[in-house]
Chain A
C-alpha cells in the first residue's frame, strides 16, 4: 500500500493518463451496457409446451406430459422438474441449478426432446421449446383494436404482417398474441341435415379434403423449352368451397353448400384480448435474457412506427405495459439526484477548505470511483439494473468520505509544513499525509466489505436480488479506496503542492474556524461530566435496539412502476363469454378511474406464451399516467378490484408477480408430500396421512392441499352397443370430435398466407349436454342412432389443471408447529408415517424445506458472527491494541441509533433493504471517523509525545473536527436531494437509505465528537494505568 501510494506519486502523469483512459473507456462502454429493470433472479429454466387442441387436462397429462417428463428427467444440472397440464396444453418446466449454463442445458434438453417428440400421439402438435427468456420476460404489451376491421381481419394482419416484423427486432424472443383468431374456412355440418341430404359426414370430409389438397403439376418439354405446369388453386373462398360436389341425388351433383353451411370463421378460442373496453388483440413482447430492455423497446416502437401505414384503421396502444419507462425514469431521477448531490458536495468542500482546487480533486475522484465500479461490473457480464444503480448511489456516502478525508489531511499537512522551519518537499508531505489516513480508509473500507459479506453469500432469490446491490456497493467502495490511494494524492501533489506561496497563518475558512472555537470550548466541560453522556448514549442505544422489533419489514421495496397487473381468476370452468363480460366490465370501470391511461387484459392463453392456464384465468393490466396521483389512483384501482367478489384477484406489479411465480413451494413448516398416480387414491391416502399426523402433539393448522375439480363431460362408449350398430370406438370418437372440436382437412393459400379448412359441427350440436347426447349419428350398419344410445354421456369431476413435480402426481399435507420443538414434531410425524401402509405405487415424503431454510438461516448467522469477528480483528489490526478496538466497537451501536430513530420517524417505520444498507454505510462512516480519531490520539501520544490527559483529548478531537464535520455534511448534502424529492420512481431503495444515513450521521457525529473522546479519556487512560509496565514495554514495538 505504501508502495502503491509511492509509485503513484512518483509517476503522477502516468496515473492521470490511466485515469483519463478509464474515463474514456467508460464513456464508450456505458451507452452499450445492458440496462434492465431487475437482475436475472430466476434460475436457468427451459419450458417445453405442447399444444393438444381439445384434450382435457387428464388426457394431456397422460398422453403428452408424462412421456415428456420421462424423457427429460435426469438431465445434467436439473434441479426441479415441474409440469402443468391444462385443457389443451402441456407445459414441462425444467429448472436448472443456478450455476448451469442455460444454453448448454437447452441443448441437452433439445436432444432428449428430439428423441421423444415422434413418439407422442397424433393429437398433440410438435412439442415446442420456448425461446430463452429473461426472468422479467415481458417488456411490452401492445393493444390492437379496430372499428373498421373484424377481429379475424385484424388477426390476419397481425399474423402475417405485424408479428413477423416485430419478431425481427433484435432482442425480441417471442411475441404472444392473445385473442388471435386465425381465419379459416369452416364447413359447418348438422348430422340431421346430412342425413336428410343423403350425404355422410365422411363424404363431406373427403370432399373438402380433396378440394384443397395441393398437387404438383409437373412439366412438359417442347423442342426448345421446358414449361412448368401448375395447378391454380380453385378454392380461394368459402363460396367456392361451397360449390364443390359432395355426392349426388338421382345423378344430379350435390354441392357442399347445399348440405352444410360454408363460412369464414376462426377456431375455438383458447384466449381473448380486451383493450380499453373492447375486444381486441393483445401482443406481448418477450425479451431474450441478454437483450437490453431499452433498446428492444425502442426497436419495437420504431418498427411499429414504420408499419403505421400498413395499419390504417387499426388503433395501436403500445403503452399498456412498458417497463422501459420505469427504467428511463429511474435512471433520470437518480442521475439528477446524484448531480445535485455532487454540486452540494463541491459547495461544502469550498466552504470548509476555502480552496477551489481541493473541491476539484474531490469532484474528479468521486465519479472516477463510480465509473470504475460500473466498468468492473459490466466486464463480469452483469446487467446494469435498479439494484446495481442503487448500490452505486448508496456507495456515494463512502466514496465522498474517502475523497474528502484524504484531501483534507493533505491540505492540513501541507499548510502545517509551510509553517515548519524546514519544510519538506511537497511530494514527501503528500506521501506521508496519504499514508496517515491510509489505515482509516483501508480498514473502514474492509469493515464495510466484511459487513456486507453475508449479503454476498445469500442464496436463492434474495441472493439473486441483493447480491448485485451488495456487489456494486463493495466494488464502488473498493474502487474509491484505490482512487484515494492513487489519483487523489497525485492530484493533490499537482494542484496543491505547487502552491508554494509562504503564508503567515494557515488559511482556514471562517465557517471551520467558528465551529472549531465553539467545540474547543465545549469539549472539556463534557469530559468532566462523563456519566451523563455515557448514560445518554447507552439509553439511546437501548432505545434503538428496543425499537427494532417494532419496525415492519419489507425487503424488496414497492417499486413505483406505473404498470399494474391484476390476476382475475374466476371459478374454474367459467366460460369464455362470461370471462369476456366480467373483464369488459372491469375494463370500463378501471378505465374510468382518473389517472388510468390504458387498459389491456388477456383471458386464457395464447400460443407459445408464458401463461399455462385455462380460459377462466385472466390478467388485467393497467398503466397509470405519469402525472397522475400515484397513491390515490392505485387506491381507487384497489378498491374496484377488491370490491369485485367471486374472483381470485390481486393488484401487483409485474416484478412481484414474477417473484411469486419463481417462488413456489409452501410456506408451511412441515409438508408431507404424497406421490402416486390416481388422484382419487391420492386424495383418500392424504386423508389417512392427515389422520396419522393429527395425533402428534404440537401440530397445528393441519390441512390437505385442496384440489380444484371442475365438471367435465365424459363420453364412454358401450362396446356391445357400438358393435351392434357397426361403430368402432375410434370412428365414434372421430365423429364426435369432428362435430365438437372440428377436424382440419387442409389448407388454402392466398398470397403467401395459409388458412386452414375445417369441418365442424353447427353450434346447435354443441349447445348443451343434452344437445350433445342427442346428436344422431349415422350408424355404419344403416340407420341413425343417438349418441346417448351407444355411449354414456355424463358430467364427471375432473381436475382443472394437473401439476406434477419430479415426474409424479402429488398432494401435500401441510402443518405448522405450535408449542413444541420443530425437530421433535418432525421426528414424531416421520415415525407415524413409517407405520402407514400405502397402496403399491404410492409413497409419502417428509419435505425438509423448512429445515433447509433454517439451515440457511443459521448458516447466515454464522456468517454474520464471522464477519463481526473479522471487524474486531480489523480494528485490532488498525490500532494494534485490543482495548481501543473494543472501545470503538462498543460505541458503534450508539452511532446506529440515529438511523433507527430516523426510520421510525421518517421512513414509514419499515425496515427496507435500502435502510439496511444505510445502516452499513453509517457503520462505515462511524468506524472510519472513529479509527481516525483514535489513531490520531495514538499519533499525538506516541509520535508527538503528548501526555495522556484532557488537553490531548481536546486537541485530538478539535483537529479531527473539520474532516468529521465535512464528511458528515457532504454525505448528508449528497443525500438531501434523495430525501427531499421523496419516494419517487427510481428512489425506492435509495430513499429509505438516505433517511437512515441522515439520522445515522447525526448520531455518529455525536458519537465521534462527544462520546468517543470522553470514553477514550476514561478507558484509554485506564488501559495505560492498569497495564503501565506492559504498555511501556510494548510501546517501542508499536513504532
Chain B
C-alpha cells in the first residue's frame, strides 16, 4: 500500500520523460490576418500595420492606348534620285587632290574637289603645228590690229576720225597682243615639256552628301566615262522593311516607325515615305519604306531593327501595371483590387499582352478600380495560406 504513492509519482515522472520524444508544434495564428467574415470568397482584410509593413502599393486600372508594335528587320538604302554618279570626262590619271580620295562614308560639300584627273594626251606633231599655227595666227592678228590702231590715230589727226574709233582700235590691239603672247608661251611650254603641258582636271562634288562608293585610287588610269565615285544625299535616307502581306492590314499606316541599328542602343523615329509598298516577286511580302535623317549609325546598306506600330495600339485598352498580375497554379491570372480601406479582393483577369511594364487586359476590373502593385504575393499567401 505504502508503495503506491511513489509508484504513481515515479510513473508520472516517467511519463513526462517519455513525452520528451513528442514535440508540440506551436501553431500560433497571426493576429493580423482576419479570415474573411464576408460571405464573398477571395477576400482578405489586413490590419493597417500589416499593410504598412508589407509596403502595399496601389495603382488605378486605366483605359488608355498602349502602343502595340511589331519588330522587323530592315535595311537602310539611299533614296533613289539622291545619288550622283561621277565619271571621268576624259581619259586620264587620277591624282589626289589635297589629300587622298575621300573614303566611302565621308561627308562632302557641294563644290568640294574630290579628286583630280590629269587627262592623258598623246604628244604629237599636230599639237606643235597647231601651236605654231596659233602663234602665227595671233601674230598676224596682232599685226593687223597695230596697223588698224595706227590708221585710226592718223585719221583723228587728220580730223576725219573720232576719239572713240581710236580707243576701239587700241583695245583690239591689246587683245591681239595678249593672244600672241599666250600662244608663244604655250608653244614654248610644249617645246620644253611635251607631256605635262597642262595642269590636271579637278573633279568637284555636284551636291552635298556622303561618298557612297569610291571606285578609283590615286595613280589609277581611267578611261573616259569610267565610274569614279558615287555620292549620295544623306539629308534623307530610306529604310526598306519587308512585311508579310497579312500583317500590312494590321499596321498603323500613319504611325512613325522606330529604327534601331543592330548592336546599338540609339533609336531614331522615322515616317513613312510617300512611296507605295513594293510587293516582292512572289507576292508574299511587301516592302514598306521609311524616311530617316542623317545619322552616324545609319549608312546605306546597314541592317536595322524596325519597330512598327499596330493599329490596335491606337485604341484605348484596359491596362494595369504588370506588377499587379500573378498566376495561380492552373494558369489563371489574377489581381487584387482594393475594396475599402484595408480589404482586398482577388479578381480574375485575362492578360492579352505585356507591353513594357504594363499588362493589357482582355477582361478585368473597370477603369478607376485600384489594384495592388506591391505585396501581391503576400496578399495571396495571406488569403490562401502559404502551404510550406
Contacts and interface: CB of A to CB of B under 8 A. Distances in A.
Interface stretch (A108-116, A474-482, A790-798): A790-798
Interface string B29-71: 0111100000000000011011001110000000000000001
B53 A644 contact: yes
Contacts of A454: 14, 17
A817 interface: no
Interface in A885-920: 886-887, 889-890, 892-893, 896, 911, 913, 916, 919
Contacts of B375: 582, 646
A860 interface: yes
A interface, over-half SS: helix
B73 A196 contact: yes
A310 to B, nearest CB: 37
Interface string B329-359: 1110000000000000000000101100000
B380 A646 contact: yes
Interface string A566-582: 01011111110010011
A913 B20 contact: yes
A916 B382 contact: no
Contact of B54 (A582, A659, A796, A919): A582
B14 A258 contact: no
A771 interface: yes
Interface in A432-473: 451, 454-455, 458-462, 465-466
B144 interface: no
A830 interface: no
Given A195-B73, A896-B9, A257 B263 contact: yes
B54 A711 contact: no
Contact of A458 (B6, B20, B71): B20
A78 interface: no
Interface in B1-18: 2-3, 5-18
A663 B20 CA distance: 12
A15 B358 CA distance: 88
Given A643-B30, A645-B381, A890 B387 contact: no
B6 to A, nearest CB: 5
A15 B388 CA distance: 63
B193 interface: no
B378 A861 contact: no
B388 A648 contact: yes
A145 B39 CA distance: 49
A860 B322 CA distance: 61
A553 to B, nearest CB: 6
A654 B214 CA distance: 77
Contact of B377 (A250, A461, A571, A863): A571
B240 to A, nearest CB: 12
B6 A890 contact: yes
A640 interface: yes
B28 interface: yes
Contact of B386 (A647, A771, A860): A647
B2 A889 contact: yes
Nearest to A860: B18
A896 B5 CA distance: 11
Contacts of B99: none
B11 A797 contact: no
B104 to A, nearest CB: 12
A569 B388 contact: yes
A872 B379 contact: no
B25 interface: yes
Interface stretch (A344-352, A702-710, A1023-1031): A702-710
B20 A585 contact: no
Contact of A643 (B5, B8, B14, B50): B50
Contacts of A101: none
A893 B17 contact: no
A647 B388 CA distance: 9
A903 B33 CA distance: 37
A916 to B, nearest CB: 7
B119 interface: no
A248 to B, nearest CB: 12
Residue from A451, A582, A710 with most neighbouring chain B CB atoms (10 Å): A582
A976 interface: no
Given A196-B303, A643-B32, A916 B53 contact: no
A959 interface: no
A586 B151 CA distance: 119
B331 A890 contact: no
B327 interface: yes
Contacts of B11: 861, 864-865
A574 B71 contact: no
Interface string B308-339: 00000000000000100001111100000000
B354 A192 contact: no
Interface in A277-330: none
B234 interface: no
28 contacts: A196-B74, A196-B305, A198-B303, A259-B262, A455-B17, A458-B21, A465-B20, A548-B9, A553-B16, A555-B19, A570-B377, A571-B381, A571-B384, A573-B327, A573-B329, A574-B381, A640-B53, A644-B50, A645-B30, A645-B381, A646-B378, A646-B380, A646-B381, A660-B23, A711-B329, A797-B331, A861-B11, A911-B16
Counting from the closest, the 4 A-B pairs by CB-CB distance are: A646-B378, A795-B331, A196-B73, A890-B2
Given A644-B32, A644-B50, 19 more contacts: A198-B303, A454-B17, A570-B386, A573-B327, A581-B55, A643-B30, A643-B31, A644-B54, A645-B378, A646-B386, A647-B378, A660-B23, A706-B387, A768-B354, A797-B330, A857-B15, A872-B3, A886-B3, A913-B20
